[in-house]
Amino acid sequence: MTRRIIIDTDPGQDDALAILLAFASPELDVLGITAVAGNVPLALTELNARKICELAGRADAKVFAGADRPLMRPLITAEHVHGKTGLDGPDLPKPAMPLQAQHAVDFIIEKLRNEEPGSVTLCALGPLTNIAHVLIRAPELSTRIREIVLMGGGFFEGGNVTPTAEFNIYVDPQAAQIVLQSGVPVTILPLDVTHKALTTAKRVDRFRAMGTKSGDASVALLEFFERFDEEKYGSDGGPLHDPNVIAYLLKPELYGGRHCNVTVDTTNELTLGMTVVDWWGVTDRPRNAFYIRDVDDEAFFDLLIERVARLR
């Protein structure tokens, strides 16, 4: 049976690979793609989402623009990582497919109301602003969401935008805390796991060997994206974050973690956006998330490469 998902995203090269993986996987039914401001401003994230849909041969997919700024603070972007377009690397054509007129938050609310309760999974690849707006406007829908699977946070690895905070959570910490307090089942794929999934030269060469439009675009995306982290971490390749969300839905057996309490710091300047993970259960705070720490990185890349190779 296919799993019905909505991908909430701020593309982003790694978001692009996640979307390609979803479209190449018949186990997933992508109901829509909702764009949020994050890696770059909203006008670029919605444009990039449509470019990726067309790259995947899915001009029939529906893309919706959502929140253009976080709930309570100015937008912080990451052009220094992703380039001025957010998708620097390949030269992807201007998309012909239209942006949907409906607001992303309205679309998510409508889908949750109209689909079978517990049948829709929200896959969050960027800041959680759109999903927080849904939970603020229609809190009764929290019981209709099957699960929220998100890339964000970090604890054992620290942060990647401040010493303690990961980018997606730091951009909108208030939204992240709303999601974690919502009662919806939440699975978190943090830096602690994505830093184990590195785009080594050998892995990038496997994309190059495809000889397809999607394979060539993936190489250009990855080679641009990894340069920042290679310089930062001194590693062979950079961590490939967002595709882990989709891979987890496809093959959860590749991942290991535990249920624990996760809380976001929304007040302290030094640790703003930190995901405080009670990994050892030393508090009596309720377990509100499945926090993933381990991945079979070889099997993850095997899955990603095999699926993207199905696209032309």
User: HSE on the CB side for 257, CA within 13 Å?
Assistant: 28
In 3D space, the residue among 143, 131, 145, 160 whose CA is nearest the CA of residue 10 turns out to be 131
Distance CA 91, CA 81 (A): 17
Q: Which helix (H) or strand (E) segment is 192 a member of?
A: helix 191-194
In 3D space, the residue among 289, 262, 307, 294 whose CA is nearest the CA of residue 195 turns out to be 294
In the numeric block, the tokens 């891979």 are attached to 247
Structure tokens at 98: 């239209």
In 3D space, the residue among 160, 123, 129, 141 whose CA is nearest the CA of residue 248 turns out to be 123
Q: Which helix (H) or strand (E) segment is 308 a member of?
A: helix 297-308
Phi-psi region of 158 (alpha: psi -120 to 50; beta: other; left: phi over 0): left
Sequence-ordered list of residues with C-beta below 8 angstroms from that of 230, at least 6 positions apart, any chain: 236, 237, 238
Distance CA 146, CA 249 (A): 12
Active site positions, annotated: 241
CB atoms within 10 A of CB 265: 19
Dihedral pair phi/psi, residue 154, rounded to 5°: 180, 145
> What's the chain's Rg over C-alpha atoms?
18
For residue 12, whether the previous peptide bond is cis, meaning omega lies within 30 degrees of 0, is yes
